[in-house]
């Protein structure tokens, strides 16, 4: 069973994995699923003794993880997912549920208990389907299931146990072992789905997707390893009944009367649904508004931790205590403790209790995106938001009244360029701004570059391509493509600060002003985060120049945040527009109309689920001959 039969049904949908597990990420990535990772904040504190069977505990934990993310994203991430996938893996032996060990001694006790025995690995999976309804409400449907795999351990000697424990591998694994790595040497046999033991039952997951998207209407859904009478589908009306305004906590219904339904649901499902009762209807508290009210505090927590280089200090995988972090960032112990605890609550850090001591560690996403020297670091862009964007937005009321940017009020001097004079000197301004743009290009570049088959193009010009990070992603994705980065002379002069150790021979640089100077000749022009910055007059001026430089069959790739046509869904672009730059944000239709005015026909659109979407246009050719072949969106 493969994912291909349903992958087309997921195209263009925002699929979210509510887990930071690198094993689950790898399993789903390897089968071609495009998704975003948003780790759940659900605290795994369910009472194990209240569940009749271990798999029920795993399913409920997975369900709560997925629902927490589904409820949080519209308010914290400003977008509503289409599908959220939650999973929880547990190991059971002798009637005991084993999760991740808290320390080496705990790992030793777990592995000793497994030695020489057969045990079960259960993974509960919840698939939450989110559908916008009229008004602010969202309807949630939950499909959940579990998979069981039997695993037999060899008899383990003390030396083998401690050698494996001291490798460090057991510490983030359910049951204290990773079968896909060194832990495989402990195993005599496996009966069932091997990937289930790794952390995600891919085969069963694919079958459920097939049922969801390919079952004939009104056809009965087969029971797939559900050992109780629960319905496969659970309608979750948490927002429309008990949490209309964005409640993100699981609803407590222990004291509510639950009426009979045509298809009975389990106690766990009833807790998720939030039954329609008098008590619940009174609990109409504006959680969503409060989330927005406190949103600036969460942002500033991220900004402050980045400015103080907390994530750099915590690069040590062993973690550090509050006192150790405070010493390295030269801050008070009290202030550091509160900052670290807030970062943990936001999912930016992990805290681990080691005896009487608590140590703090980077989460996987913090290591990948918040450490300043990580290949995909957003550190520079975060500092740009803190030092430039944040001060501008503190004068938003004036910006709305006047319809102009508030640079003078924020920084005490006029500037036509929003990043000019924000820092100590001009070169520092340019380097910090370039670093912010470099970060965005590194994070978004691969998804933009691979959005379309560009094999028909041989040369490209990245207009306003800054450090060349985006251009390099295009040459990696399309080996036959050479890209010229065209940007202002000071930018080209300082590009050496951002060059990789091994320069890309297929990327070249030309200095110039794309409003005043001739553009380099190319088959394809790349406009990534360019058009939204400028007035309509300047946008038409630039597109007119590109159109004159193009012959029929040449292309233009526009990469921006694409608004939904009705401007109803929360969007980073709409919030970004409040900075009152001379430009404006557009929908895919508006960009299409804009490009068509200059003779470019829209060919493909790709919603990447990254920070930038992509659209491909071709210079119109009435004969349709001589145009390079362009495949559909990836």
Per-residue confidence (pLDDT) for residue 255, from 0 to 100: 35
DSSP of 465-513, one letter per residue?
-TTSHHHHHHHHH-TT-EEEEEE-HHHHHTGGGG--SS--TTEEEEE--
Query: Would the pLDDT of 266 be above 60?
Result: no
> In this predicted structure, what is the pLDDT of residue 306?
96
d(CA 197, CA 206): 17
pLDDT given for residue 530 in this prediction: 94
* pLDDT grade for 292, boundaries at 50, 70 and 90: confident
Residue 188 gets which letter from DSSP? E
pLDDT averaged over every residue in the chain: 81
pLDDT, residue 209, reads 86
What is the architecture of the domain spanning 294-377?
Orthogonal Bundle (1.10)
Report the range of poorest mean pLDDT among 190-194, 270-274, 461-465, 484-488.
270-274
Report the percent of the chain where pLDDT is more than 70. Answer: 81
Q: What is the pLDDT of residue 58?
A: 93
Q: Nearest CA to 130 among 78, 75, 73?
A: 73
Instruction: Burial-class residue 510 by CB neighbours within 10 Å (0-12, 13-18, 19+).
Output: middle
Q: Which of 47, 82, 88, 276 is catalytic?
A: 88
- Mark whether 88 is an active-site residue: yes
Give CA separation, 608 vs 15, 33, 117, in Å: 11, 12, 46
Q: Give residue 497's pLDDT band: very low, low, confident or very high (50, 70, 90).
A: confident
Domain-wise residue ranges, the chain: 4-101+120-149+194-288, 294-377, 445-619
Token digits of residue 56: 């029920």
Give the per-residue pLDDT at 568: 67
Region of poorest pLDDT, from 141-150, 233-242, 344-353, 401-410:
233-242
CB 552 within 8 A of CB 472: no
Sheet holding 600-606, edge to edge: 507-511, 482-487, 459-463, 524-528, 555-560, 613-619, 600-606
> C-alpha angle with apex 12: 8 to 14, nearest 5 degrees?
115
Residue range 445-619, CATH number: 3.40.50.150
CATH code: domain 4-101+120-149+194-288 is 3.90.950.10
pLDDT digits (tens, 9 = 90+) for 72-94: 888 776 778 999 999 999 999 88
Rounded average pLDDT over 436-450: 93
- 524 within 8 A of 475, measured Cβ to Cβ: no
Per residue in 300-331, pLDDT tens? Answer: 999 999 999 999 999 988 899 999 999 999 99
pLDDT of 613 reads: 92
Average pLDDT, integer, range 367-395:
92
Reference 120, options 181, 57, 64; nearest CA is: 57
Fold match, 4-101+120-149+194-288 / 294-377? no
pLDDT tens figures, 122-133 = 999 999 998 876
Digit-coded pLDDT (tens) for 532-571: 989 999 999 999 999 999 999 999 999 999 887 777 666 7
């Amino acid at each position: 069973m493969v994912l291909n039969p349903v992958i087309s049904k997921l195209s263009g949908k925002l699929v979210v994995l509510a887990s930071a597990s690198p094993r689950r990420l790898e399993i789903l990535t390897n089968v071609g699923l495009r998704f975003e990772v948003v780790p759940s904040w659900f605290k795994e504190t369910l009472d194990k003794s209240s569940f009749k069977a271990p798999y029920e505990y795993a399913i409920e934990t997975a369900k709560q993880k997925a629902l927490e993310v589904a409820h949080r994203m519209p308010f914290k991430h400003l977008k509503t997912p289409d599908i959220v996938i939650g999973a929880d893996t547990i190991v059971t032996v002798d009637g005991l549920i084993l999760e991740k060990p808290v320390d080496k001694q705990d790992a030793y006790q777990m592995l000793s208990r497994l030695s020489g025995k057969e045990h079960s690995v259960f993974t509960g999976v919840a698939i939450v389907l989110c559908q916008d309804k009229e008004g602010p409400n969202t309807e949630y449907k939950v499909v959940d299931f579990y998979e069981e795999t039997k695993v037999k351990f060899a008899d383990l000697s003390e030396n083998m146990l401690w050698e494996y424990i001291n490798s460090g591998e057991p510490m983030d694994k359910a049951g204290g072992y990773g079968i896909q790595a060194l832990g495989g040497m402990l195993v005599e046999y496996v009966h069932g789905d091997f990937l289930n033991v790794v952390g995600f039952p891919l085969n069963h997951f694919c079958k459920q997707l097939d049922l969801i998207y390919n079952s004939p209407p009104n056809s009965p859904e087969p029971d797939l390893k559900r050992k109780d009478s629960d319905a496969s589908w659970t309608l979750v009306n948490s927002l429309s009944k008990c949490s209309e305004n964005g409640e993100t906590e699981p609803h407590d219904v222990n004291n509510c009367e639950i009426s009979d339904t045509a298809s009975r649901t389990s106690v766990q499902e009833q807790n998720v649904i939030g039954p329609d009762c008098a008590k619940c209807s009174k609990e109409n508290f504006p959680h969503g508004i409060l989330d927005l009210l406190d949103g600036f505090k969460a942002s500033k927590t991220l900004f402050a931790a980045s400015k103080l280089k907390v994530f750099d200090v915590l690069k040590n995988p062993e973690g550090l205590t509050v006192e150790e972090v405070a010493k390295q960032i030269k801050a008070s112990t009290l202030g550091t403790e509160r900052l670290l605890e807030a970062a943990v609550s936001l999912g930016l850090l992990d805290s681990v209790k080691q005896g009487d001591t608590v140590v703090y560690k980077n989460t996987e996403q913090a290591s990948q995106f918040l450490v300043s020297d990580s290949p995909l670091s957003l550190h520079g862009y975060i500092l740009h938001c803190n030092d430039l964007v944040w001060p501008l937005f503190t004068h938003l009321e004036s910006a709305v009244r006047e319809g102009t940017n508030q640079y003078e009020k924020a920084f005490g001097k006029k500037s036509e360029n929003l990043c000019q004079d924000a820092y100590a000197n001009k070169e520092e301004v340019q380097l910090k701004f370039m670093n912010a743009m470099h970060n965005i290009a590194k994070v978004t570049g691969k998804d933009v570059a691979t959005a379309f088959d560009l094999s028909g193009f041989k040369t490209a010009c990245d207009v306003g391509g800054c450090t060349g990070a985006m251009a390099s992603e295009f040459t990696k994705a399309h080996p036959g493509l050479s890209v010229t980065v065209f940007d202002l002379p000071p930018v080209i002069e300082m590009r050496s600060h951002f060059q990789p150790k091994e320069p890309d021979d297929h990327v070249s640089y030309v200095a110039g002003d794309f409003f005043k100077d001739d553009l380099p000749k190319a088959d394809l022009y790349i406009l990534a985060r360019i058009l939204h910055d400028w007035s309509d007059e300047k946008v038409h001026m630039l597109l007119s120049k590109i159109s004159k430089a193009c012959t029929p069959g040449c292309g233009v790739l526009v990469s921006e945040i694409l608004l939904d046509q009705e401007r109803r869904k929360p969007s980073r672009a709409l919030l970004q527009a409040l900075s009152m730059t001379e430009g404006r944000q557009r929908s895919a239709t508006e960009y299409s109309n804009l490009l068509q005015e200059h003779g470019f026909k829209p060919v493909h659109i790709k919603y990447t689920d990254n920070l930038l979407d992509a659209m491909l246009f071709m210079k119109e050719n009435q004969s349709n001959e001589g145009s390079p072949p362009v495949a559909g969106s990836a």
